[in-house]
Chains A and B, each alone.
Chain A
Amino acid sequence: MATLTIDDAIAAFVACEPGDEAARRKLRERLWTLVADRSLASPIRTALADAIAILDDPSEFKGAKEADGLEKVRQALEVAVDHAECGDRAMSENEPASAPKELLPELAIVSKSDAPVLTIPDDADRSLIEDFIAEAREYLEGAEAALLRLESTPDEGDAINDVFRAFHTIKGTSSFLGLAAIAGFAHHAEDMLDRVRASELAFAGQVPELSFRAVDLLKTLVSAIPAALAGAAPALPAEYEALSHALSHPERAATPIRVSADVPADAPKMRASTAASVPTAEPLVKVRTDKLDRLVEMVGELVIAQTMMMQDGVVRDATNHNLAQKVRHADKIVRELQDLSLGLRMVPLKGAITKLARVVRDLATRSGKQITFTVAGEDTEVDRTLVDLLADPLLHMVRNAVDHGIEAPSERLKAGKPAMGTVRLEASQAGDRVLVKLIDDGRGLQRDKIVAKAIEKGIITSADNMSDTEVFDLIFAPGFSTADQVTEVSGRGVGMDVVRRNLMAMRGRTVITSKAGFGSTFTIELPLTLAITDGMIVRVGAERFIVPTAQIRRCFRPEPSAVFTAQGKGEMVQTAGEVLPVVRLHRALVVHGAQEGVVDGILMVVGDGNNRTAFLVDELLGQQQVVAKPLGDAIGRVRGLTGGAILGDGRVGLILDVDELVLASRGTNGVVQAA
């Protein structure tokens, strides 16, 4: 492309005899190539674009007028040649009257944001750019939510303003920071939305889709910034040029726009001037997350130190009444400080939920289903780390509900249900747990189908004695999928088992209830925070370990008659109507001097569904809230442990990874098996 020059275009022009359309097409091709050549100065390219516009106008080449049309093209080319010869001299009276003005601003932008890669100026302020990344993401999510609102209520003027403001702010900030590629693109998006805002353009036809794609592309650009900061030059998305162009000319985009019905008749409702009515929020302070985490950690340490002091004999048995009172007072302050500091890390679940509305919309469109997605309780607060961890499982579950749960409209009508299916997400707080429910009114889980599939996949051999809950639980088994067809979306059988694994990693639980024909409810139960764990301290030999209380189903001392063996070694215990394998924790954890006999210790039932197992420990020492800490990089990951925590006496107690110990005892990686 770089080999073409204006002379080539002129040669092509000379070849244009009246009536020779092929030659004109060739000229047009060369002109486009030149316009796209960013090494040319922008006035030259503008002039060339003018020439193309003339060529593209059929009225200029009608019959006898053809010679005039060619003459206009010639003039435009002359202007280009003049510019090429005189450099960037300003355009004079030669400017053709017919120049389509809308091309000009676009070209001007293109020449500013010219590199095909995302570049960051050398003198850029890195911290400002990092702030921008976070800010832009927030704005884009807001824009996406507003676009979804607009789709359901197209005349909601505030939503348009929200979207506009997002693009506008991103354009402003990115151009200030020298992120030309982002500023240029946001400018096009802003332009289009501005026209919608001014009621020049209806939010219909291609416009909503273009807006969504603009948001997506900006997201991609924004997430490429860190790479650019690191010195790489990430290429702009392939769609960049085409989408920029489509945004400047939404009318020309593939599907014709329906101007009539979709334009709100009472345009003033759009309230184009409400840009000033920014939703008021509490004043905020931005704090780096690592500082916040450090603060929470320090408070955790303070709580431990306080506990140790309270348990010290001198304080506990103090006869000095004054001292005891002072210690209690300090204790109260420390507890309040702890609550407060944990509250600092709490953020609304919204962050994990907003994206879902978009997912439902896209999936429903693709699969031809009609779905309303409603959300309740998105302001429920959980620990920041949990919001990030929750995003993926929720995504899988929503996909699952849309893909497997909700039926096609025809099927729904046949079943006597409205064609429009509903998927509802409800979040709420119950004590120190968070409940997230995903409710759909689809076909429900079909027990027979699940059982047949599980038998086919070799997950179970028979479901005779299994309750519905147990059967439903099978969909979380690795390699399970009930979709009749493997779809691009959720039929690959990876997904639900990942959901369960992720949720277990954050000490969450899942419960499914379902009624065939009426829909399913998936309930996720999570702790409010991962920073503090309720732990049961157990003694195994001379060592103490911490078992997360949430994972203990119950504890009991077995009767000798309830203990059985298989082939002389595999031990089992019968309790509450079920038979569970017994795992001696002291063997799994290589501790000496612990109780060998099952009946001499305490059995602790852990795990879910088919993984329920009884752990043998010597003694339960009591419950304590503990702050989980990593064992340190020098040790790395140790099998069967999730970390350590400081116990009341200042020693380190190790927190058991119950799931891993259970899996290991099943022989999947041989830790317990060897013992």
Chain B
Amino acid sequence: MTAPVAETTATRTLGGKYLTFVLANEEYAFEILTVHEIIGIMAVTPVPHSHPVIRGVVNLRGKVIPIVDLRRRFGMTPPPEGETPETCIIVLNVRNLLVGIAVDAVSEVRMINEAEIEPPPAFGSDVDTSCLLGVANSESKVRMLLDAEKVLALDVIASL
């Protein structure tokens, strides 16, 4: 990604409100300011010849928006149980583009203090930590704070 993003990551304070959600029994979170809305899972129209992480497009009140499959984005396998009533789409607004992210379940909006946040640990080459803003450790739970822009890597996806 571009340099300015790295800069803001380095200088901005990470404490604030986050929307937490579940993906393959792991807890993740997006900064609340990047979240546009949450919608239930709906019929997704697959788009041939699009990038593999794009599951397809949906109709968001007349707008056509793409849905990114976060499991595929992180190289995880599809959920064994398939879609459940809990499955939903988090619509993110990144650089004025609306993009939906399919997740297993949304948990809550919670305040995460600066003090609870630690830099992403080094997992070695197996785990890509470039999308992580940091790791929040509170109430004996660990939540991965995601950088929405990097998760979507919009320019990368669009150019493929």
**A301-B62, A644-B57, A646-B62 are contacts. A632–B48 as well, Cβ < 8 Å?**
no
| Contact present for A635 and B63 (CB under 8 Å) | no
Does any Cβ of A come within 8 Å of B134's Cβ?
no
Query: Which of A478-486, A515-523, A650-658 lies on the face that meets chain B?
Result: A650-658
| Contact present for A636 and B62 (CB under 8 Å) | no
With beta carbons under 8 angstroms apart, the residue of A297, A304, A636 that contacts B159 is: A636
| Contact present for A629 and B64 (CB under 8 Å) | yes
Report the count of interface residues on A (CB-CB < 8 A).
33
Q: Which residues of B contact A300 (CB under 8 A)?
A: 62
With beta carbons under 8 angstroms apart, the residue of A298, A630, A633, A640 that contacts B49 is: A640
**A641-B47, A646-B59, A652-B45 are contacts. A633–B64 as well, Cβ < 8 Å?**
no
Q: Which residues of A contact B58 (CB under 8 A)?
A: 651-652
Interface digits, B107-126 against A, CB 8 Å rule (1 contact, 0 not)? 00000000000000000000
| Contact present for B157 and A634 (CB under 8 Å) | yes
| Contact present for B66 and A631 (CB under 8 Å) | yes
- Give the distance to chain A from B131, nearest Cβ to Cβ, in Å: 16
| Contact present for A636 and B158 (CB under 8 Å) | yes
**A651-B59, A652-B64 are contacts. A632–B98 as well, Cβ < 8 Å?**
yes
| Contact present for A651 and B64 (CB under 8 Å) | no
Interface digits, B125-140 against A, CB 8 Å rule (1 contact, 0 not)? 0000000000000000
| Contact present for B57 and A305 (CB under 8 Å) | no
Please classify how large the interface on chain B is, using the bins under 10, 10 to 19, 20 to 34, 35 or more: 20 to 34
Does any Cβ of B come within 8 Å of A328's Cβ?
no
Interface digits, A640-675 against B, CB 8 Å rule (1 contact, 0 not)? 110111100011111000000000000000010000
With beta carbons under 8 angstroms apart, the residue of A297, A304, A631, A640 that contacts B57 is: A631
- Give the distance to chain B from A23, nearest Cβ to Cβ, in Å: 65
Q: Which residues of A contact B65 (CB under 8 A)?
A: 632, 634
- Give the distance to chain A from B53, nearest Cβ to Cβ, in Å: 11
Complex Cα distance, B49 from A645, in Å, reads 18
List residues 27-56 of chain B with CB under 8 A from any CB of chain A: 42-43, 45-51, 54, 56
Q: Nearest B residue to A588 by beta-carbon distance?
A: B48
List residues 61-113 of chain B with CB under 8 A from any CB of chain A: 61-66, 68, 97-99
- Give the distance to chain A from B31, nearest Cβ to Cβ, in Å: 18
Does any Cβ of B come within 8 Å of A315's Cβ?
no
Q: Nearest B residue to A633 by beta-carbon distance?
A: B97
With beta carbons under 8 angstroms apart, the residue of A632, A644, A646, A653 that contacts B97 is: A632
- Give the distance to chain A from B40, nearest Cβ to Cβ, in Å: 13
**A635-B157, A651-B43 are contacts. A589–B152 as well, Cβ < 8 Å?**
no
Does any Cβ of B come within 8 Å of A258's Cβ?
no
| Contact present for A630 and B152 (CB under 8 Å) | no
Does any Cβ of A come within 8 Å of B154's Cβ?
yes
Does any Cβ of B come within 8 Å of A489's Cβ?
no
| Contact present for A638 and B158 (CB under 8 Å) | no
Does any Cβ of B come within 8 Å of A639's Cβ?
yes
Does any Cβ of B come within 8 Å of A267's Cβ?
no
Complex Cα distance, B49 from A643, in Å, reads 13
| Contact present for B57 and A589 (CB under 8 Å) | no
Q: Which residues of B contact A301 (CB under 8 A)?
A: 61-62
List residues 396-419 of chain A with CB under 8 A from any CB of chain B: none
- Give the distance to chain B from A278, nearest Cβ to Cβ, in Å: 43
**A632-B65, A632-B97 are contacts. A671–B45 as well, Cβ < 8 Å?**
no
- Give the distance to chain A from B49, nearest Cβ to Cβ, in Å: 5
With beta carbons under 8 angstroms apart, the residue of A297, A634, A639, A643 that contacts B158 is: A634
Q: Which residues of A contact B97 (CB under 8 A)?
A: 632-634
Q: Which residues of B contact A645 (CB under 8 A)?
A: 64
Q: Which residues of A contact B159 (CB under 8 A)?
A: 636
Q: Nearest B residue to A630 by beta-carbon distance?
A: B64
| Contact present for B57 and A635 (CB under 8 Å) | yes
Q: Nearest B residue to A300 by beta-carbon distance?
A: B62
- Give the distance to chain A from B153, nearest Cβ to Cβ, in Å: 10
| Contact present for B57 and A632 (CB under 8 Å) | yes
**A631-B57, A632-B57, A632-B97 are contacts. A305–B47 as well, Cβ < 8 Å?**
no
| Contact present for A635 and B59 (CB under 8 Å) | no
Q: Which residues of B contact A654 (CB under 8 A)?
A: 45, 47-48, 57
| Contact present for B48 and A652 (CB under 8 Å) | no
Complex Cα distance, B48 from A589, in Å, reads 5
Q: Which residues of B contact A640 (CB under 8 A)?
A: 48-49
Q: Which residues of B contact A633 (CB under 8 A)?
A: 97, 154, 158
| Contact present for B43 and A632 (CB under 8 Å) | no
| Contact present for B45 and A644 (CB under 8 Å) | yes
Q: Nearest B residue to A632 by beta-carbon distance?
A: B66
Complex Cα distance, B63 from A297, in Å, reads 10
Q: Which residues of A contact B63 (CB under 8 A)?
A: 629
Complex Cα distance, B54 from A590, in Å, reads 15
Interface digits, A583-611 against B, CB 8 Å rule (1 contact, 0 not)? 00000111100000000000000000000
Q: Which residues of A contact B54 (CB under 8 A)?
A: 635
| Contact present for B50 and A638 (CB under 8 Å) | yes
Q: Which residues of B contact A644 (CB under 8 A)?
A: 45, 57, 64
List residues 140-160 of chain B with CB under 8 A from any CB of chain A: 152, 154, 157-160
Complex Cα distance, B63 from A305, in Å, reads 12
Q: Which residues of A contact B51 (CB under 8 A)?
A: 635
Complex Cα distance, B159 from A370, in Å, reads 52
Does any Cβ of B come within 8 Å of A543's Cβ?
yes
Q: Which residues of A contact B43 (CB under 8 A)?
A: 650-651
| Contact present for A634 and B66 (CB under 8 Å) | yes
Q: Which residues of A contact B56 (CB under 8 A)?
A: 652
Q: Nearest A residue to B58 by beta-carbon distance?
A: A652
Q: Which residues of A contact B45 (CB under 8 A)?
A: 543, 644, 651-654
Complex Cα distance, B36 from A215, in Å, reads 50
Lowest 6 CB-CB distances: which A-B pairs, in order? A301-B62, A636-B158, A652-B45, A589-B48, A644-B64, A590-B48
